[in-house]
Structure 1
């Protein structure tokens, strides 16, 4: 009887130990992944209701595919890359698992030096990596009326940074939407809700690969 009691106590102790060790892991597994979409008006959802903005539509699409993800909209209309850098620390706070970085379009529209934009985006990526926050970099292409030299220098910014830092790249944020009148609001620059839906649809496989790396199965 005494041996039976000792065995029972030992088993109970092991069960308590296992529960103690598994508890944090289970809690972590249930916590939604937290992403921050750091960008300009294309992220903020300029001219759109909040429910139609890119971060919200992307979160809904991911949840529909079984991903427990929260995406914070840290888009500020009019922001250049430098503006994003200035607010980086408070836009991307603690407890963030990854960042979708969408900046640079306003730099291009203002004709800013691509070298300066590249240096700023590079700094953002380096600072996030220093905090162990993975980055999905979304690219932008220059308007061709800025000339071939400017376009070549600007277009190279995003693949160059992705290669230099080993971060994931979605080559063109507005793929399938840029220049399509029926997919943009009246200004012809910012996507309408259907345009955002297409952006999300096209980017979804890349984002799923990105979040799989944040929380491996």
Structure 2
């Protein structure tokens, strides 16, 4: 009997000493999510992690944003930017494709390949959409804008239609260049995206 009790205490003791690792969420993006010219704690991944933890989620948000990256750049570094322990990814790419006037069909191919490869690894994905600058003309915009919804639908990923929703074209929420959000602007993006991100981590946790 004493041996049984001792064994039970040992097992229970071991069980309580082991804590689950936080769910790892990677933000694969460009300067918009990387935190261009912002302190590290004001960048999107840091503010998102703080907001999620405040709501009781045990999540580590990794900043895998690289300023200047196109969708092709993101695809090229996908395997080392998103490690094997990642359970969820926010894909925030495409803005630089549009700024450079790159062919929308290439952006579509790159983003589709990124989401396809992540999905094949059973990594849950949230695609953050972007809109083309209107000075590129209606034809370009009509080819570029639907890419993100199409890719997310084809691969069964979640979609947040426009990453800069509530911040774009508002000078007080952007840096002097008029394109990159301030820390306050980032906080609005996080607040707006939070329901979609909670859906993402729910999917990742369920898997």
TM-score grouping bracket, smaller chain normalisation: over 0.9
Which of 181, 197, 205 is matched with 1:207 structurally?
197
Report matched runs for 1:132-143 at 5 Å. Answer: 132-143=122-133
Report the counterpart of residue 84 of structure 1 in structure 2: 74
Counterpart residue number, 1:127 = 117
The answer as to whether partners of 2:123 and 2:204 remain within 8 angstroms in 1 is: no
Q: Normalized against structure 2, the TM-score is what?
A: 0.92
The Cα shift of 1:199 comes to 0.2
Shift of 1:209: 1.3
Mapped to 1, the partners of 2:18 and 2:110 lie a distance apart of 37
Q: CA deviation at 1:19?
A: 5.4
Q: Which has the larger radius of gyration?
A: 1
Alignment of 1:187-198 (within 5 A): 187-198=177-188
- The RMSD of aligned alpha carbons is 2.1
Structure 2 stretches of 5 or more lacking a match? none
SS of the residue corresponding to residue 135 of structure 1 reads strand
Q: With structure 1 as the length reference, what TM-score do the two structures score?
A: 0.88
Does the aligned pair in 1 maintain the 2:124–2:203 contact within 8 Å? no
Alignment partner for residue 26 of structure 2, among 22, 36, 46?
36
User: C-alpha deviations, 1:164-193, integer Å up to 9, x for none?
Assistant: 001000000000001100000000000001
Moved over 6 A (4+): 8-13
Q: After superposition, where does 1:1-217 map in structure 2 within 5 Å?
A: 15=8, 23=15, 27=18, 30-216=20-206
Question: What do the CA deviations read for 1:77-132 (whole angstroms, capped 9, x no partner)?
Answer: 00000000111111011211111110000000000010000000101111111111
